[in-house]
Structure 1
Amino acid sequence: MHPASVILLLALILGLPSHGYCLDEIKILPGSSDKDRRQAYPNAVLIRILEVTRDSDGPYRITLSHLRMTQKRALSELVSGEHVNVIVVATCRELEDKALPIRIPVLRGLLSYRLLLINGRNLDKFKCVDSLEALKRLKGGSGMQWTITKIFRHNGFALVTGNNYEGLFCMLDFGRFDYFSRGVNEIFEELQLRKKCIPDLCIEPNLALYCPMPCYFFVSPAYPKLADRIRRGMEIISANGELDALFQKHFGTHIARARLKERTVFKIDNPLLSDETPLDRPELWFTP
């Protein structure tokens, strides 16, 4: 069984209603494709949040939508709360104005550290990349509606965009662009799941990007009590060490494989962060 399915099955079992409480219904989205495993960790975090607040807030039920949506549509649906009322996504001021942000980085900022997925046939192109400006002269691939795409454009990167998650890996294989930047939390499993179909995919061995880009839980404005529950639960599991334990369980091996201290790391600016980003709370952030 898919790990995310196991997590959701446990949520349905653990969240069965009991006497005296109203049931909190949490409506979440599936991955962008059958090979998209990125939701397994945030779903595990969400379940711990709901469990540590069970005594104070009561039972819950997690419903997985059957709909796959572009990011633009998902954000629109989040505002209404009809089909989805909780998402995890990289933050920006516009989204924080439209929905209810829980300003504790779910991924502890790991998405900020980005490696380059490339076509192995083009590895020699990257041997000459000794500066950020040299990297910008190559073509990057990115999702049309993604927050990172806006950040790259602000910083002057040459980009080719696509509107289909799986399609971006194929575009890289076909040579439409030179690299596809992926978070340390994403890239290793993405490569493993596609290596048989796209054998030339590989990870560039010497470079990385850093851009401060926290991912938050965002809750529909139609569900303010649920937002308060998730906010309190995040503070609890952050303080008691459970969030870090989940983080290490899911990503400890990825972090070791990334060898961030051995890479040349190019830093880029994120103009989309709000003034309320908790950069003054170092305990919330991963550092290599």
Structure 2
Amino acid sequence: MYKLVIVLVFSGFAQAEVLDLHLMGQRDQAPLYYHRLLQESLQAEGKSVKIILAPEMPLLRIYKLLDSGELSAHWFLQTAERDKRFLRVSVPLSFGLIGQRLLLVKKGQAEPYTKIKNLADLQASNKRAGMAQGWFDVMVWKANQLPVYEQVGDWRVLFKLAGAKNRGIDYLPRGAIEILDDFSQYPGLEIEPNLLLSYERDFVFYVSPHYPQLRDQIERALQAALASGLQRRLFDQLILPKVKSLNLNKRTVIQLNSSFKE
């Protein structure tokens, strides 16, 4: 849902746009960067912004609420399907780091991955990744001949499955900007210390098709935030400190093909 209210300030005959943005929250603080980026970039353009949080929900539920207009916008990896279904804001959000994937594995089970040095080794290992149904990563892994388990419904069940024995999931690939938040909540898992699976794709905001004016407002605000350094400052403040401890530049990089036809 998105509501635009024009408030008249009669003393100066000024007009201020008040935007009610309905966004998804989460149990952790992972969405804070996206919420603040929207709020502060729009405020810098003279808008008054109120963010109204909906409970965390599965991917297909997010789609449904964007379709209906009950959610104003959400951040996703850019895909052709989402470009057709929603209104894309063409400003990358993570400076490419969401496509830098590290592995969450069952505690004590990281050692076998030390033998993996390239894509062929990973394919030969037959280790199976866990992902939610509908994620772009499912297409990436399949395009690179890597086994995938697809979870229907609540995707957070994957963390429990990965931490259990004989549940058909060997690892969870998670973006460099999100894996530490995940790790802190699931002590039965650990971050594999040597590998980095990389593909070229980034998060963007998608706006409900009910609100083309809002998409245009967000696009202008984010372009200005990128040019002014506001986006970089928020990213460095809220995301980068987590990433630095992951030693991305010391890991073995396995490049994954993501240029396939969707």
1:102 Cα offset (Å):
0.7
Cα distance in 1 for residues equivalent to 2:54 and 2:180? 26
Q: Is the 8 A contact 2:22 2:52 kept in 1?
A: yes
Give the TM-score normalised by the residue count of structure 2. Answer: 0.87
Cα distance in 2 for residues equivalent to 1:191 and 1:238? 30
1:193 Cα offset (Å):
2.5
1:134 Cα offset (Å):
2.0
Cα distance in 1 for residues equivalent to 2:23 and 2:132? 21
- Worse-matched range after superposition: 223-232 or 69-78: 69-78
Counterpart of 1:282 in structure 2 is none
| Aligned match for 2:162, one of 152, 166, 172 | 172
1:185-264 alignment, distance < 5 Å: 185-195=177-187, 198=188, 201-264=189-252
Cα distance in 1 for residues equivalent to 2:239 and 2:72? 26
1:152 Cα offset (Å):
1.2
Counterpart of 2:24 in structure 1 is 29
In the alignment, structure 2 segments of 5+ residues that lack a partner are 10-14
Matched position secondary structure for 1:181: strand
Q: Cα 1:18–1:44, aligned 2, differ >3 Å: closer, same or farther?
A: farther
Identity across matched positions, percent: 24
Could you list the per-position Cα deviations for residues 168-190 of structure 1 after superposition, in whole angstroms to 9, with x for gaps in the alignment? 11111113311111111011121
Whether 1:53 and 2:48 are equivalent positions in the alignment is no
Q: Cα 1:40–1:17, aligned 2, differ >3 Å: closer, same or farther?
A: farther
Q: Is the 8 A contact 1:93 1:272 kept in 2?
A: no
1:50 Cα offset (Å):
1.6
Matched position secondary structure for 1:76: helix
Give the TM-score normalised by the residue count of structure 1. Answer: 0.80
Letter of the 2:30 partner, please give it: R
1:69 Cα offset (Å):
2.8
Counterpart of 1:146 in structure 2 is 135
1:153 Cα offset (Å):
1.5
Could you list the per-position Cα deviations for residues 97-123 of structure 1 after superposition, in whole angstroms to 9, with x for gaps in the alignment? 111111111112210111111113222
1:272 Cα offset (Å):
6.3
Cα distance in 1 for residues equivalent to 2:260 and 2:50? 33
Q: Cα 1:252–1:59, aligned 2, differ >3 Å: closer, same or farther?
A: closer
Q: Is the 8 A contact 2:72 2:208 kept in 1?
A: yes
Q: Cα 1:267–1:53, aligned 2, differ >3 Å: closer, same or farther?
A: same
Could you list the per-position Cα deviations for residues 109-152 of structure 1 after superposition, in whole angstroms to 9, with x for gaps in the alignment? 21011111111322222122122122232111111221212221
- Worse-matched range after superposition: 161-170 or 107-116: 161-170
What do you get for the CA RMSD once the two structures are aligned?
A: 2.1
Letter of the 1:100 partner, please give it: L
In the alignment, structure 1 segments of 5+ residues that lack a partner are 1-14, 275-288
Matched position secondary structure for 1:249: helix
1:261 Cα offset (Å):
1.5
Letter of the 1:223 partner, please give it: Y
Q: Cα 1:272–1:18, aligned 2, differ >3 Å: closer, same or farther?
A: farther
Counterpart of 1:38 in structure 2 is 30
Q: Cα 1:16–1:225, aligned 2, differ >3 Å: closer, same or farther?
A: closer
